[in-house]
Amino acid sequence: MAAVDDIRASSDTLFESRAARRKANMGQYIRWSLLFLGGIMMVMPIVYMLSTSLKWPHEIYDVSLIPKEPHLENYTFVLEDGRFYGWFINSLIIATITTISNVLFDSLVGYTLCKFRFPGRYIIFIAILSTLMIPTEMLVIPWYLMSQSFGWLDTHWGIMFPGLMTAFGTFLMKQFFETVPDDFIEAARIDGLNELQIWWTVAMPLVRPALAALAIFVFLGNWTAFIWPLIVTNSWDMYTLPVGLSTFADEADVAWELVMTGAAISTIPTLVVFLIFQRFIIRGVVMAGLKG
Amino acid sequence: MYKNLSIAQKHIVWAWAFLALPVVFYVVIRFYPTANAMLISFQDWNLLGSRTWAGMENYQKLWNDPVFWQVFRNTFVYLILGTPISLVLSFVVAYHLDKTRFMHGTIRMLYFLPFMTSAVAMAWVWRWFYQPVPIGLFNNWLAQFGIPQIEFLRSTTNALPAILAPAVWAGLGFQIIIFMAGLRAIPQSYYEAARIDGVSKWSVLFEITIPLLKPTIVFLVVFSSIGFLRIFDQVFNMTTGDPGGPLNSTKPLVLQIYQSAFTDFDMGYAAAQTVVLFLILLVVSLLQLYLLRDR
């Protein structure tokens, strides 16, 4: 890109007058200012949420962004209530196990469909591909009935079983295993590794960026998932963070500073993770978005 | 036994061993429930009593239910407003951000941050913004400048756009990132050729950039359309107490499905609605395949 910019710059000096360049510079400043202003507006809801969570109740009527006497009482109050800990742990357990399951199984299936020739391969491929077209909302009623008859209602397993494998992840991984040369796999076979070892020790390390992208998507998706956990849980100690927050906010209704605190508690973890792994996550999103 | 197999046969054994558990999963957790949902849509069942055959009754009820048509219309209003607005906004930002070097990463981060939030949490934040004075932020601003108050969530005309706003807002970051990746993939030589020919900026945009972005645009149109057709989290959380807003003015199909199934326990009727949703999404997906067929 730098080289291209140089070319652009040099052609600018060759063909354009100084006045035209000053005009172009002016345009750049305006462009940058508007973009930056837009960016600030984009984060305002998050900033207001955080600022209100630090305000006293009488102050929430004040539109000012900076709390007059910032304090953490709201956080103490919400966390002393105790339920948020449980919801946080539930969400963490479900998102973590689902992510591990997806990383393992989606990549195993993607790898098998990509690197093995066997009867039935095409049918399996089409069958899994076709599940992309089935909306979750169509399956929630049968899943609910299934959970009811197997006693999975109101359990961690009940919340996570529908998402343990995804067609999206399978195709993402299949695409990336195409980039692993068959020669590597042949060489490993000659060295006497069995197929499971080849998948795990040879192929998997070569698609690590794709695995990370998949993990980010699955984790975030399950961390924020709402409709299925809402349906399958019915006691507050099994709620996930979004379901818990929804009921908590509904109870706290008029105490907006507490609602904002609850919202902040469920938002801060993903924001912190994002700020730490920013470049990495954006690259993963592009990869998953374009290849998936 | 295994030792006597040829290499090709061993591969078949390994492949099916790897696929055994996933095949069970896809059959039990995806295909069986799909068939079951379609079956239930032809039955009458309130979850406690017995399942009785109802034929086309649920679909007839659907056809004659004014609430269903209201919901159907709302769902498409979310789509018809949400998709173009979010696409145009994200393209404009991506187009300009692509040409900006100074603090590029920081600005990109600002736009992307909302994508990392949970829809439920943000629905409550925006719900607070929309409250009447003296609580809601927007109306307090309006009051400061002496502008008349706006009813957001309690008005039949404003509630739907008000709920749509946080959904568009949260999705922009993703679309900007995808658009920027698409812009980067366009070879610079096209732009250089256009520059030498003295083509105007607007012609470059409409003759080169947008046509070459077609695959990206189709992907984003379909991706965001499916998202808006399935909108639920924001609506549910911004209208608790009066689910679906005043006179059902904000109720989308998924909320109607949820209520039919888990508030009214009319499983057959809810299943019939999920089949309708399935058919709508199927058409959208097939449209994508059709539009991208020459790739």
Q: Where are the alpha helices (DSSP H) in chain A?
A: 2-15, 18-52, 73-80, 83-115, 121-130, 136-150, 156-160, 167-177, 182-190, 195-197, 204-206, 208-224, 227-232, 241-252, 256-276, 278-291
Q: What is the pLDDT of residue B229?
A: 93
- Touching B: A residues 74-133, CB under 8 Å: 105, 108-109, 111-112, 116-121, 124, 127-128, 131-133
Contacts of B8 in chain A (CB under 8 A): 117
Q: What is the pLDDT of residue B243?
A: 78
Residue B40 lies in a domain: no
Q: What gap in Å lies between CA A22 and CA B255, rounded to an integer?
A: 55
DSSP A61: T
Selecting from B18, B232, B282 the residue whose C-beta is nearest the C-beta of A108 gives B18
Q: Is the pLDDT of residue A1 over 50?
A: no
Distance from CA of B284 to the nearest CA of A (A): 10
Q: What percent of chain A is predicted at pLDDT more than 70?
A: 93
Task: Answer yes or no: do A231 and B258 touch at CB < 8 A.
Answer: yes
Instruction: Tell me the CATH number at B99.
Output: 1.10.3720.10
- Touching B: A residues 185-224, CB under 8 Å: 195-196, 199, 220, 223-224
Residue B167 lies in a domain: yes
Q: Is the pLDDT of residue A292 over 70?
A: no
pLDDT tens-digit map of A41-75 = 999 999 999 998 888 887 877 777 888 888 888 88
Q: Is the pLDDT of residue A137 over 50?
A: yes
Average confidence score pLDDT of chain A: 86
- Touching B: A residues 253-272, CB under 8 Å: 256, 259-260, 262-264, 266-267, 270-271
Nearest CA in chain A to B7: A189
Q: What gap in Å lies between CA B97 and CA B151, rounded to an integer?
A: 35
Spans in chain B with pLDDT lower than 50: none
Give the pair of three-digit tokens for residue A7. 């070319």
Q: What gap in Å lies between CA A189 and CA A182, rounded to an integer?
A: 11
Enclosing domain of residue B97: 64-291
Residue B11 lies in a domain: no
Q: What is the pLDDT of residue A57?
A: 81
In the predicted model, what is the mean pLDDT of residues A179-205?
90
More confident residue, B37 or A14: B37
pLDDT tens-digit map of A209-221 = 889 889 988 999 9
Q: What gap in Å lies between CA B259 and CA B253, rounded to an integer?
A: 10
Give the pair of three-digit tokens for residue B101. 């070097």
How many structural domains compose chain B?
Answer: 1
Q: Which residue reads 């030498």 in tokens?
A: B196
Q: Is the pLDDT of residue A6 over 70?
A: no
Selecting from A140, A141, A259 the residue whose C-beta is nearest the C-beta of B128 gives A259
CB pairs A-B closer than 8 Å: 254
Q: Is the pLDDT of residue A244 over 50?
A: yes
Q: What is the pLDDT of residue A49?
A: 92
Residue B242 lies in a domain: yes
Residue B173 lies in a domain: yes
Distance from CA of A249 to the nearest CA of B (A): 8
Q: Is the pLDDT of residue A9 over 60?
A: no
Residue B231 lies in a domain: yes
Give the pair of three-digit tokens for residue B240. 């608790």
More confident residue, A251 or B16: B16
Selecting from A43, A116, A144 the residue whose C-beta is nearest the C-beta of B11 gives A116
Q: What is the pLDDT of residue A16?
A: 56
Residue B161 lies in a domain: yes
Q: Which of B23, B5, B6, B11 shows the shortest CA–CA distance to A117?
A: B11
A278 CB within 8 Å of a chain B CB: yes
Q: By mean pLDDT, which of A117-131, A144-158, A274-288, B224-238 is the weakest? A: A274-288
Q: What is the pLDDT of residue A7?
A: 46
Q: Is the pLDDT of residue A3 over 80?
A: no
Residue B246 lies in a domain: yes
Q: What percent of chain B is predicted at pLDDT more than 90?
A: 47
pLDDT tens-digit map of A76-110 = 888 888 888 899 999 999 999 999 999 999 999 99
Q: Is the pLDDT of residue A282 over 80?
A: yes
Q: What is the pLDDT of residue A5?
A: 47
Angle at A97 between CA A91 and CA A100, to 5 degrees: 135
